[in-house]
Amino acid sequence: MGELAERDKAVIWHPFTQMQTAPLPIPIVRGQGTLLFSADGTTYIDAVSSWWVNTHGHSHPYIAEKVAKQLHTLEHVIFAGFTHQPAVQLAERLLPILPDHQKKVFYSDNGSTAVEVALKMAFQYWHNVGKPRRKVIALEDAYHGDTFGAMAVSGRSAFTAPYVPFLFDVEYIPTPVPGQEQAALDQMQALLSDDVAAFIFEPLIQGAGGMVMYRPEILSQLIEMARSHGALIIADEVMTGFGRTGKLFASHHLSHQPDLMSLSKGLTGGTMALGVTTCTNAIYDAFKSEDKYKTLFHGHSFTANPLACTAALASLDLLLSDETQASIQRISQRHVVFAEQLGHKPGVKNVRQRGTILAFDLDTDGQTSSYFSNIRDIAYQFLLEQGVLMRPLGNVLYILPPYCITDEELTTVYSAIDKLLHYITQNDPSLRDSSPN
């Protein structure tokens, strides 16, 4: 194990990793169900679905079989001027389960590109109809990806600081969490004008921003306001899609639906990289013309890769099965019970839960929300030692498990958290006396 990690260190630069101080990476040799097996024989429960992508457990035999078969039939084909069964079938199966009015599928290969495409569709829509609009309204603390357009519409933070001079301007409204709802409505009202091209958001849960949760009713209200000024509505469901929030899509909790949607992560069950942007016919129609310059000039080499589309089709079969739907409800119900217990523990605040996602803040007394604070590294290592992979976002701990997680495994994750809380309160003088809230 040591050997592979050393070889890695010699040649590889890891994502979101300070290479000077990060511990050596853990070589993983196999995955099965919720479990990851390391080279030294340790097993880890993947309680974050490997960065929110893995919905049905690792190396799922059903997905593997379908992809293997496709691999021997057609591994890839250029998607301009050509098409294939998996791409068509996936679009035909996706559109009916999405919110109303989503009528066309545009493929790309990850979440950031799915967002880029949505933004380009929105800007070019206004260009094509001859009424160019420039403004985008986004939520503070949003995360929409790491490419430039996606970064531009994300909140400004330490992650985007070096690039700020290169990002286009975006108008922000406060994330409408309880306590900020009126401020969000007021700010939206103040920003709305005939120059607003789009309103983009992560519906109900901001993921990378710290699993920040807000009510569907307030988002529906904001959508209604933005739409009344003609703004196109973009739901970035890259993280919230495919059952995470208890419904197939977070937008299903809303009374007002988006015009554009970005999907990725859970789309292939975590097997292959694939992104999807969907839109209404009204948007699509603004690109149809005898005029070549109204074309959407965008496409990636691996657009609609047949293996990725096949993985997505297999993942959909699993997702829509009674067994998986029951699992999503089972996980949600167990989270509710654990959330209730957590609420009474010292050192814990702001417990929140929706569907299969449970999150809370470690009350770090004064040093909250800094991604770089020690508590994050302490918690990460401690949980790994308990055999549980979680990746705290600063002082925010969250569980976002594959839907196949067993009751026993969930219990292990919960009790690892209990042990962590006990450990922290024993070791941190600032927490020792804090009262439950």
Ligand X SMILES: *Cc1c(COP(=O)(O)O)cnc(C)c1O
Of 35 and 234, the one with the shorter C-beta distance to ligand X is 234
Q: Which is nearer to ligand X, 204 or 314 (CB)?
A: 204
Cβ 436 to ligand X, closest distance in Å?
Answer: 31
Distance CA 100, CA 106 (A): 17
What is d(CA 340, CA 336) in angstroms, rounded to the nearest whole number? Answer: 6
Shortest spacing between CB 356 and ligand X, in angstroms: 15
Any binding-site annotation on 435? Answer: no
Q: Return residues touching ligand X (CB under 6 A).
A: 110-112, 115, 143-146, 202, 207-208, 236, 238-239, 264
* Closest approach of ligand X to the CB of residue 92, in Å: 24
In the complex, what is the shortest distance from the CB of residue 261 to ligand X, in angstroms, rounded to a whole number? 11
Q: Is 51 among the annotated ligand-binding positions?
A: yes
**Three-class DSSP category at 392:** coil
Residue with smaller CB distance to ligand X, 240 or 386: 240
Give the shortest CB-267-to-ligand X separation in angstroms. Answer: 10
> Buried b / exposed e across 219-254, counting CB within 10 Å, b at 16+?
bbbbbebbbebebbbbbbbbbbbbbbbbebbbbebb
Burial of 297 (0-12, 13-18, 19+ CB in 10 A): exposed
Q: Are 84 and 77 in contact (CB under 8 A)?
A: yes
Please give the Cα distance from 249 to 50 (Å, whole number): 20
Question: Alpha-carbon distance 52 to 123, whole Å?
Answer: 29
Task: Find, among 196, 289, 278, the residue nearest to 236 by Cα.
Answer: 278
300 is annotated as contributing to ligand binding: yes
Nearer to ligand X, 276 or 383 (CB): 276
DSSP state of 156: P
Residue type, 93: R
Q: How far is the CB of 208 from ligand X (least distance, A)?
A: 6
- Closest CB to ligand X among residues 146, 409: 146
Q: What are phi and psi of 397, to 5 degrees?
A: -105, 140
Q: Answer yes or no: is 291 a known binding residue.
A: no
CB-nearer residue toward ligand X: 347 or 401: 401
* Residue 299 in marked binding region: yes
Q: Find where tokens 């859970």 sit.
A: 266
Q: Is 301 annotated as a binding residue?
A: yes
User: Which is nearer to ligand X, 141 or 236 (by Cβ)?
Assistant: 236
The SS3 of residue 227 is helix
Smallest gap from Cβ 110 to ligand X, in A, equals: 4
259 is in an annotated binding site: no
Is 265 annotated among the ligand-binding residues? yes
Phi first, then psi: give them for residue 69, nearest 5 degrees.
-65, -45
Tell me the C-alpha distance between 47 and 54, whole Å: 10
Residue 74 has a CB neighbour count (10 Å cut-off) of 14
Residue nearest to ligand X (CB): 111
Q: Which is nearer to ligand X, 52 or 79 (CB)?
A: 52
In this structure, how many other beta carbons lie within 10 angstroms of the beta carbon of residue 68?
Answer: 12
Least separation in angstroms between CB 114 and ligand X: 7
In the complex, the smallest distance separating the C-beta of residue 10 from ligand X, rounded to whole angstroms, is 26
- What string of H, E and C letters represents the secondary structure of 316-340? HHHHCCHHHHHHHHHHHHHHHHHHH
Binding residues: 51, 111-112, 143, 236, 265, 299-301, 391
Binding residues for substrate: 51, 143, 265, 299, 391
Binding residues for pyridoxal 5'-phosphate: 111-112, 236, 300-301
